[in-house]
Amino acid sequence: MRTSSSVTAWLHKNQLIAAVLSEVEAIADEEHALSTEDRLNREAELSTKILDAERAEEAIIETMEIHGANIIRRADADPRAILGLSSDLPAPQHR
């Protein structure tokens, strides 16, 4: 009988995690890594750009609906963009 890969992964979970962590450590470039502050700043900038893009997407959808198109919104669309809510509100947790 042949064991499925998911069962094998479950049986050897700790060894697999150790192997992956070892690979990450081997290729990590700490000298060129972002500081925690820089990473958080970049994440914030990217989140703002993503929300701006979703707001533009919603504007296009609303314009197309005015002209009779029936558009289904993405399930993962940010409610702040769809509802025109403040950017100061927290982002949805599903991202």
Buried b (16+ CB within 10 A) or exposed e, 3-22: eeeeeeeeeeeeeeeeeeee
* Domain residue ranges of the chain, discontinuous segments joined by +: 41-88
Per-residue confidence (pLDDT) for residue 3, from 0 to 100: 63
Per-residue confidence (pLDDT) for residue 2, from 0 to 100: 60
pTM of the complete model = 0.64
Mean pLDDT of 71-91: 92
List, for residues 13-67, the tens digit of each pLDDT value: 999 999 999 999 899 888 888 999 999 999 999 999 999 999 999 999 999 999 9
Mean pLDDT of 74-89: 92
Per-residue confidence (pLDDT) for residue 91, from 0 to 100: 87
